[in-house]
Structure 1
Amino acid sequence: MANGLPNPPAALLTAATARSLLDSVDAFLFDCDGVIWKGDELIEGVPETLDLLRNMGKKLVFVTNNSRKSRRQYSKKFKALGVEVAEEEIFTSSFAAAMFLKLNNFSPEKKVYVVGEDGILEELRLAGFEGFGGPEDGKKNILLEANFYFEHDKSVGAVIVGLDQYFNYYKMQYASLCIRENPGCLFIATNRDPTGHMTSTQEWPGAGTMVAAVSCSVQKEPIVVGKPSSFLMDFLLKSFNLETSRMCMVGDRLDTDILFGQNTGCKTLLVLSGVTTLPELQDGSNSIHPDHYTNSVYDLVGLLQQ
């Protein structure tokens, strides 16, 4: 909603509007899952599209809510898929979580408990913080017996919850105890995505399901650092000399990617190669309308050649 008025319905991207969009934008922000790839399979036409935009002098930034990998690990994934992307062009929610602590002067003497995977742990380490938990605690179990007392580290000053394929009852209890019993302990969520394309064939439970479990246990809402929160954009703008009005957010989710773009003043382009379908976009109950929509990023190449 802009100026108190409902957003107009999204327009199908055409050759004319594609050219107009390119003329009005200096940088493209791309989501990854469902836009660049699905699981470990590159979506058709992505390399050609990125090459075209780079040759036109456009700045490319890749903004993903998936916290399983660090920026370094994502750069390796891009390369393995045949796409050259520099680490500095990648902004992950795992990186955002570490930077949130850094920018808020989190004490390096405090520890961070991680309900998530190696991406969060690596970004914490690179930022100078001690994180623990992660996949290792996915191997631990709890035996609920009479008089059992669960010990936790009283020096934990923050709990970060992200996508975690090793999520279990042990982690949920450890995180809950830290948040409830350690004075001032921060509860940080990388994102609240309910689902995600973890493989090329299906949607899987997203980080939002793990966040919801911990949030329900502690009866407290987390600080969200990924899309659609503006924190990631604020940090991005400090890293690049860009204006949001000259940027376009390209994503496959209305409630994260498109809302993120709208909340921060970007133009928005929805691609139907991931989570959101055309019927969902056009459903009368949907209140989030991108500026344009198209089937995939590869459509840009065909439309600009017309």
Structure 2
Amino acid sequence: LFAHLRFRNISGFPKIAIFNINLPKQKIIVCQQKIPPLSRVILHLHIFSCCITSQFLISARLSGRSRVSYSLTKFRASTIRSTMATKPTFRHILDLSKDEKRAFLSSFDSVLSDCDGVVWHFTGPIPGVDKALQLLRADGKKLAFISNNGMRTMDEYRKKFRTLGVEVQQEDIVHPALTTVHYLKSINMRDAVYCIGTEVFKDYLRQAGFVVLDGPKERFPDNNRAANQVRVYSEYFEQRERDPIVGAVVVDIDVNLSLQQLMKAKCYLERSPDCVFIAGATDYVIPLDASMDVIGPGYFIDILERSTGRSALVLGKPGKTLAQVVREQFQITAPKRVLFIGDMLPQDMGFGTRCGFQKLLMLSGGTSKEALFEHDNVDQLPNYYADSFADFIELYNERVPNEE
């Protein structure tokens, strides 16, 4: 139960707010908090109980040096702003009963899957994924893939799938750079685009006809002389007459990211409120293999948001714009018949929730089993989880005898 209680101390003395929760056969002292004179507090209470009903009681009293107390009793759940928080149950697909496994495989017609941490790591394919994808396709499931990784070209994606024995067409892959191109064209962007991203990402923008700015790439002098600092700032960060107008700042994965680039992006965003702030991938972790990961661009997007006071428009997962692109590209009319597979809770499972898909979390990438069970954002939790795509092989092997 989440309860939000407001208390105001109008006296000239500090007081102590003491809150009790009364439940059947138990009494819980929730908290005590000091309230300064002539001030108010809002207490956010998070209460766990196995027997919460609409009849529970909250009592509160204010006491202080004046020895005057105020009592509020017999509050029903409906009289305070409160909501029941029910954590959804999620089960491992191999822990389902035989009938449940059969029902699960029959519950979806299409599979939309993340790539990194699910289909492969940077070091190679995840064991069993080739056979699992082939079994799903042989069962009539339509396969498509949505990636937050703009480091590969479309041709490179297709070649990697071909090595797994799975032929994938360009229209079956959602690439973050092409989603960005789609959005910039939709708003009729005519000005230059400042991009923090890979050369692959920037090339897709250039091929679409956009003027792309990047850098600076050279090292700045690190001496502390004021004159030198002023020269550097004016040369690299101030608007000059010959400089093109920047209409959008795009931030994605860039393995060579520098403070200079973040400063450049900050200046463009602060210079014009009309400059669009776009985020591609928002991942905080990029898994290289089962035991190693690197820092993702999410942290750097946070830096720009905090330093500029601007909120980024997220075109990667779990963004609203990407959800619309996916629905249109794959002509999805029955989202509950789509199984979305990913390895990250905020990005992948959050995206699945936004789209209304069934959600399967793979533990082969950026989320451990412990992190899954500790996560408390219900919109970012899966319906099912599995160790890896290889679990589908066992799932299909168990189904065959039952159908013969």
TM-score normalised per structure 2: 0.69
1 CA distance for matches of 2:203 and 2:290? 26
1 CA distance for matches of 2:363 and 2:290? 14
Report the Cα offset of residue 216 of structure 1.
2.9
Report the Cα offset of residue 224 of structure 1.
0.7
Aligned to 1:170: 260
* Comparing 10-19 and 53-62, the one that deviates more: 10-19
**Structure 1: segments with no counterpart, 5+ residues:** none
Maintained 8 Å contact 1:154/1:182:
no
Corresponding position: 1:228 with 2:318: yes
Deviations 1:20-51 (A, max 9, x none): 22212111111111100111310011111111
Q: 2:92 aligns with which of 1, 12, 15?
A: 12
Corresponding position: 1:188 with 2:278: yes
Maintained 8 Å contact 1:164/1:210:
no
Q: How does 1:1-306 map to 2 (within 5 A)?
A: 6-13=86-93, 14=96, 15-79=98-162, 83-107=166-190, 110-133=191-214, 137=215, 139-143=217-221, 145-148=228-231, 149=234, 150=236, 151=238, 153-182=243-272, 184-198=274-288, 201-242=291-332, 243-283=334-374, 285=376, 287=378, 288-306=380-398
Three-state SS of the structure 2 residue aligned to 1:141 is coil
- What amino acid does structure 1 have at the position aligned with 2:295? P
Report the Cα offset of residue 211 of structure 1.
1.2
1 CA distance for matches of 2:372 and 2:289? 23
Using CA pairs under 8 Å that are at least 6 residues apart, name the structure with larger relative contact order, 1 or 2.
Answer: 1
**Structure 2: segments with no counterpart, 5+ residues:** 1-82, 223-227, 399-404
2 CA distance for matches of 1:259 and 1:219? 24
2 CA distance for matches of 1:303 and 1:67? 32
Identity across matched positions, percent: 31
Three-state SS of the structure 2 residue aligned to 1:204 is strand
1 CA distance for matches of 2:177 and 2:375? 35
Relative to structure 1, the CA distance from residue 126 to residue 290 in structure 2 (aligned partners, 3 Å threshold; closer, same or farther) is same
Maintained 8 Å contact 2:113/2:342:
yes
Report the Cα offset of residue 92 of structure 1.
2.2
- What amino acid does structure 2 have at the position aligned with 1:294? A
- What amino acid does structure 1 have at the position aligned with 2:157? Y
Report the Cα offset of residue 183 of structure 1.
5.1
Report the Cα offset of residue 126 of structure 1.
3.5
1 CA distance for matches of 2:351 and 2:217? 35
Aligned to 2:9: none
Report the Cα offset of residue 83 of structure 1.
4.5
- What amino acid does structure 2 have at the position aligned with 1:240? F
Report the Cα offset of residue 18 of structure 1.
3.6
Maintained 8 Å contact 1:111/1:157:
yes
1 CA distance for matches of 2:375 and 2:310? 32
Relative to structure 1, the CA distance from residue 67 to residue 291 in structure 2 (aligned partners, 3 Å threshold; closer, same or farther) is same
The higher radius of gyration belongs to: 2
Relative to structure 1, the CA distance from residue 55 to residue 83 in structure 2 (aligned partners, 3 Å threshold; closer, same or farther) is closer
Report the Cα offset of residue 300 of structure 1.
0.9
Name the structure where strand makes up a greater proportion of residues. Answer: 2
TM-score normalised per structure 1: 0.89
Report the Cα offset of residue 286 of structure 1.
5.3
Report the Cα offset of residue 53 of structure 1.
1.3
Three-state SS of the structure 1 residue aligned to 2:301 is helix
2 CA distance for matches of 1:39 and 1:215? 29
Maintained 8 Å contact 1:30/1:250:
yes
Relative to structure 1, the CA distance from residue 112 to residue 52 in structure 2 (aligned partners, 3 Å threshold; closer, same or farther) is same
Three-state SS of the structure 2 residue aligned to 1:66 is coil
Maintained 8 Å contact 2:375/2:381:
no
Deviations 1:150-185 (A, max 9, x none): 245341110100111110122112211111114511
Deviations 1:209-243 (A, max 9, x none): 22123223322111111111122121122122223
Deviations 1:122-170 (A, max 9, x none): 321343322232xxx3732233624211245341110100111110122
Q: How many aligned positions are there?
A: 299
